């Protein structure tokens, strides 16, 4: 058997298999993006029908983000704003400084912004009417809510959707828990 001809046939078969697999992955990715866009449009329509105005642009792509480990500083030490990649870190509480000590080993997928908005809608409607409320902004952030009674030198910040409605800020766990 001619080995150069056999090698060429094997290479051609492997290339064809790669093209088929690549095309399949591209089609699957396109379907997922279309579903995410449709879910966002459905959320807009539902909230509008419920009387809630959404002025914010909702990102329709899911992200995979790890938790952050933060080293905390007591009040009075220098406070600087730190970001992880493009995501701001929000520390609830006054006068707490921090620096990133590390990240979790596994990056978990976050829920879409539309799902977070619907979760907030459920919370707000349980508290009263949502008619006439206006969603001003939706942003993915890292949230840390330290317990001020028991100060810890290190704590964990998790991804959360920061949603501003009529000047009030709400946070929805981005891991969907």
What are the residue boundaries of the structural domains of the chain, listed by start? 5-173
- Could you give the angle at the alpha carbon of 123 between the alpha carbons of 122 and 125, nearest 5°? 65
> How many beta carbons lie within 10 A of that of residue 54, not counting itself?
20
Whole-number pLDDT of residue 147: 65
What is the model's pLDDT at position 44?
A: 83
Q: What is the dihedral of CA 135, 141, 147, 150, to 10 degrees?
A: -170
Q: Round to whole Å and give the CA distance between 11 and 166.
A: 61
Distance CA 131, CA 123 (A): 14
Residue 167, pLDDT > 70, answer yes
Cβ-Cβ contacts under 8 Å for 2 (sequence gap 6 or more): none
Torsion sign (Cα): 72, 78, 81, 82: negative
Task: Tell me what the mean pLDDT of segment 51-76 comes to.
Answer: 81
Is the pLDDT assigned to residue 33 strictly greater than 70? yes
For the entire predicted model, the pTM comes to 0.77
Q: Which sign, positive or negative, has the C-alpha torsion 92, 100, 106, 26?
A: positive
Banded model confidence at residue 15, pLDDT cuts 50, 70, 90: very high
CB contact at 8 A, 171 and 161 = yes
- The answer to whether residue 64 scores a pLDDT higher than 80 is yes
d(CA 170, CA 127): 14
Which tokens in the block code for residue 87?
């995501």
Count of CB atoms within 10 A of residue 167's CB?
7
Residue 76 has pLDDT above 60, yes or no: no
Q: Per residue in 119-140, pLDDT tens? A: 999 888 888 878 888 999 999 9
Q: Taking the CB of residue 131, how many other CB atoms lie within 10 A of it? A: 10
């Amino acid at each position: 058997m001619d080995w150069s001809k056999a090698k060429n046939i094997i290479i051609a078969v492997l290339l064809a298999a790669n093209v088929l697999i690549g095309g399949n992955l591209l089609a699957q990715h396109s379907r997922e993006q279309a579903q995410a866009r449709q879910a966002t449009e459905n959320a807009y329509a539902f909230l509008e029908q419920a009387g809630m105005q959404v002025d914010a642009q909702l990102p329709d792509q899911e992200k995979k983000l790890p938790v952050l480990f933060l080293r905390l500083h007591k009040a009075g030490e220098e406070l600087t704003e730190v970001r992880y990649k493009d995501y701001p870190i929000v520390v609830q509480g006054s006068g707490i400084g921090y620096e990133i000590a590390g990240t979790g080993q596994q990056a978990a997928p976050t829920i879409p912004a539309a799902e977070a908005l619907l979760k907030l809608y459920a919370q707000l409607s349980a508290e009263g009417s949502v008619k006439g409320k206006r969603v001003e902004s939706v942003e993915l952030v890292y949230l840390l809510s330290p317990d001020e009674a028991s100060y810890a030198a290190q704590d964990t910040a998790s991804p959360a959707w920061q949603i501003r409605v009529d000047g009030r800020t709400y946070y929805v766990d981005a891991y969907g828990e």
